[in-house]
Amino acid sequence: MSDPLKRSFPPVVDAGTRVLVLGSLPGERSLAEQRYYAHPQNQFWRLMSPVAGQDLVPLAYAERLATLQAAGIGLWDVVAQARRTGSSDAAIRDLAANDLASLVTTLSQLRAIGFNGGTALRHGRAQLGEAAAHYAIVALPSSSPLHTVGVAAKQKAWLALADYL
């Protein structure tokens, strides 16, 4: 039996997006709840709070997204769909990529692209091709609970995104 097919969510972007944060593919909890970074142990919302200038953790999901967008931050994933058991990026198979190159051409204010983890960086850079040269590329330590480094150790890299807002 093959691994189940998982699909990413639509991008959360608008005309004011200056920083685009790209993950790989939502994990099991996020897919079940249909929300980016839904797992309570995922560090994404804590890492993004100082970047966005507001504590995102206590906010309802819609408010989190609205706060990111108001700050000029967008979200998406590099993988459109793939087969995967569980939530580990290492288990991703038979992936189909999201069309990052087309998306970034629609974002006239875009200055930087942050890749949440090594899988997102590897696949995303390949998908962007020459378009990557037009933006600052920020490699971010994964916010995943599977990447066991604490928030404090990751925060400096994530704060670099604020330079592009």
The catalytic residues are 42
Stretch (H or E) spanning 20: strand 19-23
Give the integer Cα–Cα distance in Å for 103 and 107: 7
What's the distance, Cα to Cα, between the start and end of the chain in Å?
A: 46
Amino acid symbol at 142: S
Give the integer Cα–Cα distance in Å for 42 and 90: 17
